[in-house]
Each structure stands twice: as C-alpha cells, then as structure tokens.
Chains A and B, each alone.
Chain A
Amino acid sequence: MTLHVMRVRSRSTSLIPHDSVAGRSLTVVIAILTFLACLAAGGAVLLGEASAAWRSDVSKEVTVQIKPTSGEDADADVEKVLNAARASPLVLAVRALGRDETERSLAPWLGSGLDLSELPIPRLVVVTLAGHDSDQIAELRARVLESAPNVVFDDHAIWLTHLSTVGRSLTLFVFLLFALVVAAIAIAVGVATRAAIADAREIVEVLHFVGASDEFITSHFQQSFFRISAEGASIGGGAAMLLFVLGQFLFSRGGPEDAEAMTVLLGAFHLPLHGYIAIVAVCVLLVAMTAVFSRLIAAANLRRIY
C-alpha cells in the first residue's frame, strides 16, 4: 500500500489530455508568433535607442559648410567661422574637419578607396553645443553668417523632424505588428480551444456527471493551454533573444570599416538590458493572454454542452 501511495503522490493529474489539445501544432504557432512579437519589441527598443542617440548627437551639433567657391578663400572663411563660434556662450567645442576626415565621413555613402581629390568637397566646421536652445542657436547663426555670409549654417532641424517622424512611424508599426500577433494568437487559441473541447467532449460529460463545475473544467482547460503557451513562448522568446545576442556578436566581429558604416547608418547593434526585459514581458503577456482567451472560450463552449 505504501508503494501505491507513493506512486499516486508522484503523478500530477491532468484531466485534459495534451493530445486532445492539438498541443504540438499550437505550441509551434505560439512559438512563431511570440518570436515575431519579440523581434518587434526588441527591434523597437533597438531603433528607439538608435533614434535617441541620433537625435542627441544631431541636436547638440551644428554644422557649418564652407563650399569651395571660385575666388573665395575657404581657409579664411573657416577661420572666421571658428572665431565667431568660439565667441558664443552656447558653444562647447568647435573644430574644422580636415579634407581626409571629410572624405572618410562620406565613405558609408560613396564607398572607400575612391579618389575624391577632383570633387569639390566642402569644408566642414563642427560646432558642439552645450545644449539645444533655439534662441541661442539663432543668435549663433546670425553671428556666423555675419562673419562669413557665404557659408551654410545647418542646425539639423530638418533631420530632427525627419527622425521624429521615423521614430513615430516605427513605434506605430511595432504596435500594429503586436496587435496583429495578439489577434492571430487569439484566433489560434480560439480554434484550438474549441477543437480541444470537441475532442474532450466525452471527458467533459463525465466530469459534469461526477459533479465538476464549469469553473473547475475551464480551469483545467486553462492549465493545459497555459502549459502549451508557456512552452511556445519560451521557445519563441528564447529564439528572439538568441538572435539579438548572435546579431550583436556578428556585428562586433565585422571589420572596423563595416562596423563604422553600420553604426553611422543604424546605430550600434546592441540590445540593452531593458530590451531583453521587454522580450520577457512580451512572452509573459502572450502567455497570460492565451490563458485568459482559452478560459473565456472554454466557458462559452461548455455552456452549450450542459
């Protein structure tokens, strides 16, 4: 008898058999959908970080372009701009880019190893600001243009507007993608729950006959779907995390020029800790939603069996 009791204790009773829940296919569906949702969430964090870095860099810098115009002394203009900028209290640092440096900054767009000596590449003066005060920037602009009227003063306002628009669009896209994933999971879980109840109809009837309440039965359906979705979400979320880690590893392994070019274009491919936390949160949210959906659908369908 002791042996029997030990055996009975060691077995955890699952009243709804996993086979009847079409468990494997649903696990795969949830894994794929979770993977997509996690990619969207991680991508949003990554792009958000890059966008914030871009905005921070761009908003704290002003670029003055001195175009090579015939008959004008570009070096003299550069000197005038440097002096005018240094006189402003808003300016933290100011420096003129040499020709080599300017050519290197064009490499991500034009490619490396090209002879650009024949091109009329403008001289650039990069002014680093202590802050982003519109009035002070306007005063700086007036001061610079007064000292050198032919230069182009670029406070990157257009870029900032574009970046904000891109950031908002990406956020909206991520939300739409997430909403689609949620809808797809709801539909998949709905179909699977109805199929599970149909498969387990005889079990449900027996449970009713032995005095099980609807709440008891739905909680068992919910437990089954919770296990399935937790398994699927772990696989999908884990795969997404692995992809980000792998991406970061491959990114860091690339040549310095490639890495620099990618950093200029996309920012650093490094998902911060809160990106991974966001992925875990997405997984938890999807599992919780699956459990709630399955419970609601099971309860609605059980009323028809009674």
Chain B
Amino acid sequence: MLRFENVGLRYGLGAEIIRDATFNIAPQSFQFLTGPSGAGKTSLLRLMLLSLKPSRGQITIFDQDAANLDNTKLTNVRRRIGVVFQDFRLLDHLTTYENVALPLLVQGRAASAYRDEVIELLKWVGLGERIDALPAVLSGGEKQRAAIARALVGRPELLLADEPTGNVDPEMAWRLLRLFVELHKSGTAVVIATHDLTLIDEFRAVRKLIITDGHVLVRSEDRE
C-alpha cells in the first residue's frame, strides 16, 4: 500500500532529519509511529501524506510512484487517505458538521446522501450536541474529536493520525483508539504517531515504527 525506499528528507540546506527510511505499510495493518519529541514523526507523516517531497529515495503509494503523480492522481490518492493533524486544522468559519463533512463535500457528493452518516459519526465521537458549533468555541478535546471524525468519514484505506489522543482525557483517548481499531478491522491501514509509550504498551500494538536519529526502525511484536 505504502512503501518507502531509502527515503531521505532535509529542509533547505540543513541536515537530513530522516535518513534512509525503508519500510512498508501493508493494507489493513495497524502501527504506531513513535520516537522522542522533535524526532521527525510529523515530517514522516507528511511524507506519507505526500505533502512533502523527499530529498531522495522513492515513495510508492497505492502502487504508484509518488514522484510521478500529477495533480489529478494526487487528488485521487488523497481521497483514499484520512489524516488527523496534531493542530487539528479545522476550518474556523465552518461548523463542526461542515468540517467533518468536508471530505465528502469535496468529492461532489450530495449533502442529502451523507448528512445522516455525518451526524451519526459526530454522535459517536461525542459531538452530537456540538454539530453547529464553530471551532472557536470547541475545547481542545472536542476539536481533536472533530478532526478524527473528519479523517474517518470518508472510510479511508489508510489513516494517518498525528498525536490523535494528545488533547483528550485517558478515557476519551482509549475510546478514540478503539475507534481506530474498529476502523482497522473494517479494512483500513492505520498509522498513529504518538510519543506516549504507556498508551502504546496498554494498547498492545503489533507493530511500531520508531524514529531515532533520523532512522526509522521497524519493530513487530506478536502480542495481539
């Protein structure tokens, strides 16, 4: 589904922050991406999302070389990926409902076809009473859940989440992770970036991508 081969990334003329990254994200897999703060987790996720171009190496996504994707193909690839940003990236002038429905709206689907589905999802993440609220009046946790709902609503084949439980209490964190697991069971490959090792241990992840000194190490633990 997603393959990195000897991928390196540097910003400008600086040192490489990701070096020789070689790994594979298989369909329907579940993995945590971890490492200390500032190790490059977000940069690696942005490479996976194709919002950054690697300085070297090759990224293959959905059997296509990322370097050869034109705008139309890139758009089609992104429609197959759900993403949760660390800073949520909700559009401030849209309501919670509109933000969550955005991936469906941009695909040109009729609002009547997805309205109930979006409202149902919002209720599931505990935002049933905040449907018409603008992001400015949402708490950090509510924004987080709205961002997660937006990533899930299009039933993506690959979900990339950057610190998705960073702003919620442990109970909600566990609930959200269960949501990711459910999504994984329904066929979505999930990559969750977090520096919370306790959470990873509690969750009994089977695969970890660990970034240290710019290198990506893959650890698989058969504990599920």
Considering the complex, give the chain B residue whose CB is closest to the CB of A5: B115
Instruction: Let me know if A15 is at the binding interface, CB within 8 A.
Output: yes
Complexed CA–CA distance, A7 and B134 (Å) = 13
Are B91 and A8 within 8 A (Cβ)? no
Are A209 and B78 within 8 A (Cβ)? yes
Return the contact of A211 from the options B97, B103, B115 (Cβ within 8 A). Answer: B103
Are B115 and A8 within 8 A (Cβ)? yes
Considering the complex, give the chain A residue whose CB is closest to the CB of B150: A210
Interface string of A209-245 (1 = CB under 8 A from B): 1111110100000000000000000000000000000
Are A211 and B95 within 8 A (Cβ)? no
Query: In the complex, how many residue pairs between chain A and chain B have their CB atoms under 8 Å apart?
Result: 72
Q: Which of B13-21, B69-77, B168-176, B203-211 sits within the interface?
A: B69-77
Return the contact of A4 from the options B49, B76, B107, B131 (Cβ within 8 A). Answer: B131
Are A13 and B78 within 8 A (Cβ)? no
Q: Which of A94-102, A126-134, A200-208 sits within the interface?
A: A200-208
Question: Which parts of A1-23 form the interface with B (CB within 8 Å)?
Answer: 1, 4-5, 7-9, 11, 13-15, 17
Q: Please, which residues of chain A bring their CB within 8 A of the CB of B182?
A: none
Interface string of B82-115 (1 = CB under 8 A from A): 0100000101011101100011011110010001
Residues of B within 8 Å of A, CB-based: how many?
Answer: 31
Return the contact of A7 from the options B94, B103, B131 (Cβ within 8 A). Answer: B131
Are B71 and A213 within 8 A (Cβ)? yes
Are B51 and A209 within 8 A (Cβ)? yes
Instruction: Let me know if B8 is at the binding interface, CB within 8 A.
Output: no
The answer to whether A8 and B78 touch (CB under 8 A), given A13-B94, A209-B83, is no
B residues with CB within 8 A of A: 49, 51, 71-72, 74-76, 78-79, 83, 89, 91, 93-95, 97-98, 102-103, 105-108, 111, 115-116, 119, 131-132, 150, 154
Query: Which 9 pairs, one residue from A and one from B, show the smallest C-beta to C-beta distance?
Result: A211-B79, A212-B106, A210-B103, A17-B93, A211-B78, A213-B75, A4-B131, A206-B89, A210-B102
